[in-house]
Amino acid sequence: MMDSPVIWLLVSAITIIPMLKLLPFFGINKWWALACILPVGTIALLWWMGIKLQELEKL
């Protein structure tokens, strides 16, 4: 059976890879995707992307 660190790394990779593609679209440096290693980092990046999306919709 897989250990929990292995599962953690898999989930992190599954979130980091799409973030590497999405963040530059929102004008955010792609290296911020490494914050997805922690669940709080993923939530913070999603919030930041939401703020940027609102700014883009105003234009």
49: containing domain: 4-58
d(CA 58, CA 3): 46
Q: What is the number of structural domains in the chain?
A: 1
Predicted confidence (pLDDT) per residue in 1-57, tens digit: 567 888 888 989 999 999 999 999 999 999 999 999 998 999 999 999 999 999 989
If one counts every other C-beta atom within 10 angstroms of the C-beta of residue 55, the result is: 11
Q: pTM for the full model?
A: 0.83
- DSSP, res 38: S
